[in-house]
Structure 1
Amino acid sequence: MAAPAPHGVPSSPEAGSIPPALAEPLRNDLEEVADEVVEAILKHVPEYAGPSTPKLRSVAVEALTLLGDSPVSPEAVHDCAHAARWPVPRQVAVIALATSTDLREETWPLTASDVLVDMESRPPRMLVPDPHNQSHSAGRAFALSLRDRPAAVGPTVSVTQAARSLLWATRALGLMGRGILPRQGVVRCVDHLSTLLLHSDEPLLGELRSHVLAPLDTVSAGQRSRHAETLLAWLLSGSNVPDVAARLHLHPQTVRYRLRRLRQLFGDALDEPDSRLDLILALRAESLREPDSSGQ
């Protein structure tokens, strides 16, 4: 079973776990539920919140990103956009923002008029239209506009799939908080897809790491770190010793010594393609572990 998504964002059912005969009816039911939720949210917005107010724009973001992987119909999108006086874009990206204890509006991000912002949800979020065509989420100016608030930019998706962009942005934000991704600044999911994939099922990742790297359990913590670093560099370099030495700033003879020891520990697994792939995944996960992690 997949690990639950951070910050209470629901994850989709595990791939292959739903019989094909039920998959399409279930998808239709989810779409109907998503549309009903959007309609209910818009219906219960206080009457004093006029169509151009920040409240309605915030509600529009909430409605479009509420149901995890469940899509929202084009009709529901149109209703949200109409209520918020927001031109419907072809594509969007959702930006998940770190929660702050300072709730004053003066601390909120500075945004363009076509960016929808919801600072009341958890995590706070921004819905950016057509991110590939504009500079809303790029460059130093954007980072400054967030007022030093860490943020994760989700993948670009169709507007009906905004919740999926939020799902991955939220997961990236969680990895930022753990130090697996950079804690500060703006992290873009598209720049860290392999890390997000590795950590999409944490228990399974732990099993892979424990099983594949079991030979390293026989060495000291210091040796484990050095051997793991050397082995990953060797695998990624195509078994090129001079390249490993250059990457790690070591003498080639030191690399050869470590590789002889690694041969003793891992044996033929270092030459088998499937085992090498497992080793790369496990060692990559090992290198990304939280700075304060200890033990296995």
Structure 2
Amino acid sequence: MPAPPAWHKVPPEQVRRFAELATEQVPDIARDILQAMRQEFPNLDLTTDEKGVPKALSAIRLALENFLAQLTTDTERPRELPEVFRDFGRNQALKGRRLDSLQAIYRLNVRLAWRSLAEIGQQVEIPPPAMYELAESAFEYLDELVSHSLHGYAEVAAGRAGERIRRQRLLIDLLLTEHRGDPSAALAERAAAVDWTLPDEVAVAVLLRPAQQLVTPVLGDEVLLDLDGEQPRLVLADPGTPGRIEWLRRAMGGWSGAIGPGVPVTQAATSLHWAAKATRMIQDDLLPRGRLLRCSEHAEALVLLPADRLIDDLARRRLAQLTDVGPEQARRLAETLLAWLQTRGGAPEVAARLGVHPQTVRNRLRQIRDLWGDDLDDPDRRFELELVLRTRRLRGELADPNA
């Protein structure tokens, strides 16, 4: 830090006198600053060196002496100066102090230091323009020291964040593992390690990364999020709380995926199973993309569509009667049969559901009775018929009157 331009107009002897007087008072100035720090921040925990001297006191002295030395020489920064202030930032982070508290400490220090230097400047009659420029240089010097401390603070903060992420991932892994015994004790221990209150119930989501990179969603303490892997995983505490699922959907705007059913916390792997299954169906375009789906809202598709071979075999046996009619007539009869099975009403109710004339439905129902006969009076056969017909509707082979 070269001396500011206005100092070049100050006689060298006057500058030297200012620097000498200020340097002589550095121990007192530093001591007064440290005392003020302790009064202003009573919870400030200062570390000491091997001689029991507060490291903050040594740092203040070193910073002041270096600042004053550069007024009369081209003295380089002491090599230990950056590390001293990085260490101070590290210690403040380790003690759990907030970043704004660290910056407040520096503001107090420079204010008190400048008050003393201004008094000395008046004593040796340094011109005001020179003192003003010296003040600007002092704040630039302070910014440099602050940057060292912020760097040290950030090192600790990043390390702590990384450690929390690691511990959180261990908790998620344990949560999502199928257990033979009772994992409650182990879960409670790992939850405590990340200050997560272990809930009674959780729901697990599996996410699909969006094509366009999005900002990582900011979620509350109710959520554990593991973004590692091709398909990130999310654990939501107490999903039955009113509005919580909708809040999560809004927070995850732009992400596709599925959230499984709410289950006891020790059975989170079950929720993961359904969420993963639904996510595979999203990838196969069997379920819609673009938002976080609830498995409970798509239970029919989750149960019926993956069982395609079983359903197809059952359909060949239960819908064999349709092979003797044309494709279009087979579709109309299948839609009418499904509507009748779902409503168990007469022709008017079925007609209203299908949007056709009741007489048309009566004609179709007579044909259906001729084709299936007594099977329509058997509860098991009716269930199987509805099962295969619902599956065909989910596949898009039959019209959905609710669509």
Q: TM-score surpassing 0.5?
A: yes
Q: What SS does structure 2 have at the residue aligned with 1:120? A: coil
Q: What SS does structure 2 have at the residue aligned with 1:137? A: helix
2: CA distance between counterparts of 1:183 and 1:212? Answer: 33
1: CA distance between counterparts of 2:202 and 2:301? Answer: 22
Q: Counterpart of 1:31? A: none
State the Cα deviation string for residues 206-249 of structure 1 (Å, max 9, x = none): 32223222222333333333222111001111142111100111
Residues 207 and 132 of structure 1: CA distance in aligned 2, closer, same or farther (over 3 Å): same
Q: Contact (CA 8 Å) 1:93, 1:130: kept in 2 or not?
A: yes
Q: Return the letter of the residue paired with 1:124.
A: P
Larger Rg: 2
Q: What SS does structure 1 have at the residue aligned with 2:245? A: coil
Q: CA deviation at 1:179?
A: 4.3
- Work out whether 1:81 is the aligned partner of 2:191: yes
Q: Counterpart of 2:251? A: 145
Q: Counterpart of 1:53? A: 164
Q: Contact (CA 8 Å) 2:253, 2:291: kept in 1 or not?
A: no
Aligned CA-pair RMSD:
2.8
State the Cα deviation string for residues 99-120 of structure 1 (Å, max 9, x = none): 4345x5x443332133001122
- Work out whether 1:196 is the aligned partner of 2:196: no
- Work out whether 1:185 is the aligned partner of 2:291: yes
Q: Counterpart of 1:230? A: 336
State the Cα deviation string for residues 20-56 of structure 1 (Å, max 9, x = none): xxxxxxxxxxxxxxxxxxxxxxxxxxxx565763343
- Work out whether 1:97 is the aligned partner of 2:203: no
Q: Counterpart of 1:4? A: none
User: Structure 2: which 5+ residue stretches go unaligned?
Assistant: 1-158, 398-403
Q: CA deviation at 1:65?
A: 1.2
2: CA distance between counterparts of 1:122 and 1:66? Answer: 18
1: CA distance between counterparts of 2:189 and 2:162? Answer: 11
State the Cα deviation string for residues 156-184 of structure 1 (Å, max 9, x = none): 11111111101011222233344444444
Q: Return the letter of the residue paired with 1:198.
A: L
Q: Counterpart of 1:215? A: 321
Residues 180 and 213 of structure 1: CA distance in aligned 2, closer, same or farther (over 3 Å): farther
Residues 72 and 192 of structure 1: CA distance in aligned 2, closer, same or farther (over 3 Å): farther
Q: Return the letter of the residue paired with 1:260.
A: R
Residues 49 and 235 of structure 1: CA distance in aligned 2, closer, same or farther (over 3 Å): same
Q: What SS does structure 2 have at the residue aligned with 1:76? A: helix
User: Structure 1: which 5+ residue stretches go unaligned?
Assistant: 1-47, 292-296
Determine which of 87, 104, 120 is the counterpart of 2:228.
120
1: CA distance between counterparts of 2:229 and 2:203? Answer: 17
Q: Contact (CA 8 Å) 1:90, 1:130: kept in 2 or not?
A: yes
2: CA distance between counterparts of 1:252 and 1:70? Answer: 57
Q: CA deviation at 1:154?
A: 0.9
Q: Contact (CA 8 Å) 1:74, 1:160: kept in 2 or not?
A: yes
Q: What SS does structure 2 have at the residue aligned with 1:53? A: helix
Bigger helix share: 2
Q: Contact (CA 8 Å) 1:49, 1:55: kept in 2 or not?
A: no
1: CA distance between counterparts of 2:219 and 2:344? Answer: 46
Q: Tell me the TM-score normalized by structure 2.
A: 0.53
Equivalent residue pairs, number: 240
Q: CA deviation at 1:251?
A: 0.4
